[in-house]
Structure 1
């Protein structure tokens, strides 16, 4: 009969066996709209809190050969785009010699391309949509709606600009001017980031920063990406003996409890907003 001691010692790697472990390419999926307020039910959003654990695990492997970012995003919140990109660079700095490679799937646009630029190399499929280096915001105007239904809205502020762009008041030219100035400043930061990360690879000057998107082949021509291909074929060619492991973000609480259908009206509005973000690119 096998003793407990024998069972335990049989599971301890023998000298030399440790060297048989495979090299690793760690994959992190960055899929969805970039927003600071993710749904408690779905994974279809990106922010630092949601992806931090996956990024940390990806960079934590002992025999790490590369980290691959699998990106499929129409963009979203600029701050979260910057925070996630900065975290990727912080972790990469602790692993010198380990390249970070981004792979664009259907869409790496706006904040999605901001994330791609955190990588040392960027690949796209020939049908991928890449770019949209610009800034956009939107909303609705409900001027007259409350009066129509006999509703009185009471809004009290301290500070003359506290109620800028209130959707229930007529739009003021000075408020639009303020918003456009903010957009311009954010656009400059976006352009600076792309130029910092892509450097002399960019080929088309100011035309790159008009908010347009391009298919993969054109993005390669413009220097927005380094090559065409998908994750499996590129990794298989460059790291043929490596094992691909996927570092998944933690599931939201309600998803872990098995609750799959949004119950709150706010969840429905979030879903509509996210659908609109994808629809801008025909997806």
Structure 2
């Protein structure tokens, strides 16, 4: 008896693309796609993640990754990640939600296991413009890192401590998800560097170089590939609808990509 298409085995594929957090990748936006990917009367043989992200919010990266793992564990469905152009920082965090990680090309970039924060200082600008700034606060540290005031050593130390805690959590997560496969020392793996696919393979950050369709054809030859869209609005539509917030998102993504040479 020939099975109808909805009765056949299938593998689900979901794309995760763009800056993580803000107006970019957020769990509330991609949750419907994963509900569909893991749902249905017949669970998929596997769920594939195509990751193309230079990173972003540690919190949102953690939430998305944990929710993917929760569904995978509940359904007992393997998850396989494919890094397209870049899976760096939070993008690699997302890839680590998978049981296996593949680069889609020798030119794919992975890693950047570190923490960065950046901003601008405008000390003296308002005085030159003849503008008086009025700020009222309660709480000794409410004005930490205010861009209109000189940086203070205690604030830099506080921020460095916060970054160290996030970095430690990131390292622990990668070590847990890639247990037994990491081959480099901590100074090499976790210093914030990015690596091309071959170096990532040597260090155990990825398991191979492969394309999703070829992987499915080889691993699940009887299954159909079901692409589940988590669409990203076109740039013009996002700019028209989102105004300055959307423009800031595009600038943030451009800066993140520029930091890793893209």
Partner of 2:10: 24
8 Å CA contact 1:202, 1:224 repeated in 2: yes
Shift of 1:128: 0.6
Give yes or no for the alignment of 1:268 onto 2:247.
Answer: yes
In the TM superposition, 1:1-283 aligns within 5 A as: 17=3, 21-35=7-21, 37-38=22-23, 45-61=24-40, 62-96=42-76, 98-124=77-103, 125-206=105-186, 207-249=188-230, 259=237, 261-262=239-240, 264-283=243-262
Inter-partner Cα distance in structure 2 for 1:230 and 1:250? 21
CA root-mean-square deviation:
1.9
TM-score by length of 1: 0.86
Range moving further from structure 2, 113-122 or 56-65: 56-65
TM-score by length of 2: 0.93
Deviations, residues 139-180 of structure 1 (Å, cap 9, x unaligned): 110111111110011111111100000001111111000000
Could you tell me which runs of 5 or more consecutive residues in structure 2 were left unpaired when the two chains were aligned: none
The aligned length equals 257
8 Å CA contact 1:104, 1:123 repeated in 2: yes
CA 84–140 in structure 1, closer or farther in 2 if over 3 Å, else same = same
Bigger-Rg structure (1/2): 1
8 Å CA contact 2:239, 2:246 repeated in 1: no
